[in-house]
Amino acid sequence: MALIITEKRDSTGIITLDHADKRNALSEALIQEIIAALDGFRALDIRAVILRAQPGVKVWSAGHDVNELPDGGRDPLGWNDPLRILIRAIQEYPTPIIGLVEGSVWGGACEVAMACDILVATPESTFAITPAKLGVPYNLGGLMTLVNMIPLPIVKEMLFTAQPIPSEQAFNLGIINYMKPADEIETFVVDMATRIGKNSPLSISVMKDALRLLSSAHAVTPDLFERIQGMRRIVYDSADYREGIRAFREKRKPDFSGK
Ligand code: YXS
């Protein structure tokens, strides 16, 4: 069963998340389909990509598929985790990817949206970054994506409260480029993608990659990296992490002990 819909509209490729039964949870299968679609677009002279969910959805994506998170004892967001592979695929993709957001965006799906080059959302959209709800220690690369998009005090508020922020606040903070009503957003985004398609793809591709390299250029010494990884291991080996995953699966609120 296809979990996404792909479409070529002139020089624009459109990927529509289409697994509403699971609120477009970012399972390995859904992520593999997105990456395959991106690879397929490379051969079709696509000049811009739009990543969206079905028009009118209440949930753009519920984030990482919690059922695919480890029970403990292993980094839940390691380099080869499908979510991490998807984020890098978006960031390293040679043409601009525009996130068209309707509905609520949760957890790792916020990072997927914010990894897109341009974000356009409806006024009803919300963004919630929720690792603290599950006891997950977000990974360094993921925190870098967020810090590059969101002012630090807001990143801390979103991570520590795990509460959604409204589209208007995201727009005022510059996290989203435009807020457009549901009946205008598709035309607006397709027009922008078409305009991008008329510019030099080589120039755009090299500037996109240069901006990625510049924005991720931070001196992290091996010692600092290993210290952070050691701290993250304490978290994902903790009883709290196991409680967070178990509570989600049992559809109840977690009771974190701090251990
Ligand atoms: O019970 P069935 O089989 O119908 O499935 C239900 C949910 O279990 C499923 N579902 C998910 N399955 C796996 N992973 C998910 N993230 C996920 N979210 C939902 O979809 C079916 C319908 O869900 P339901 O009944 O709750 O829908 P709803 O419309 O009442 O509520 C929609 C949501 C999104 C508000 C609700 O499903 C929800 O709160 N989902 C979890 C959002 C979340 O906390 N995501 C973070 C995932 S962890 C992650 O992204 C990173 C690892 S991190 O934590 O670091 O950010």
Catalytic residue among 13, 19, 63, 64: 64
CB contact at 8 A, 122 and 71: no
Ligand 1: centre distance to CA 22 (Å): 7
How many Å lie between the centroid of ligand 1 and the Cα of residue 188? 29
62 in any annotated domain: yes
**Residue 196 is assigned to a structural domain of this protein:** no
Residue 11 in any domain: the answer is yes
Res 174 pLDDT > 90? yes
The preferred substitution site among 27, 30, 66 for testing ligand 1, maximizing ligand atoms within 8 Å of CB, is 66
- Mean pLDDT of the 27-33 span: 98
30: domain range? Answer: 4-183
Could you tell me if residue 217 is inside a domain? no
pTM for the model stands at 0.94
Residues with CB under 6 A from ligand 1: 22-23, 25, 59, 62-67, 76, 106-108, 129-131, 133-134, 136, 138
pLDDT value for 47: 94
At 211 the pLDDT is 92
pLDDT at residue 18, rounded to an integer: 98
Residue 229 domain-assigned (yes or no): no
Give the Cα separation of 77 and 138 in Å (integer): 7
The pLDDT score that the predictor gives to residue 72 is 86
Asked if pLDDT for residue 257 goes beyond 90, the answer is no
Determine, yes or no, domain membership for 195: no
Instruction: Specify the number of domains making up the chain.
Output: 1
- Residue 189 domain flag: no
Span 111-151, pLDDT tens digits:
999 999 999 999 999 999 999 999 999 999 999 999 999 99
- What is the pLDDT at residue 219? 82
Instruction: Supply the DSSP string of 174-204, one letter for each residue.
Output: TSSSEE--TTTHHHHHHHHHHHHHTS-HHHH
Determine whether 40 is exposed, middle or buried from the number of CB atoms within 10 Å of its CB (0-12, 13-18, 19+). Answer: middle
Which pLDDT belongs to residue 117? 98
How long is the chain?
A: 259
- E strand or H helix that includes residue 153: helix 152-161
pLDDT given at position 216: 86
Q: What is the CATH number of the domain that holds 179?
A: 3.90.226.10
The tens digit of pLDDT for each residue in 35-48 reads: 999 999 998 989 99
Atom of ligand 1 lying closest to residue 136 CA: 55
Alpha-carbon gap, residue 223 to 111, rounded angstroms: 26
Q: Average pLDDT in the 193-205 region?
A: 93
**Mean pLDDT of the region 82-100:** 97
Is residue 219 situated within a structural domain? no
Residue 69 CA: which ligand 1 atom is closest?
A: 52
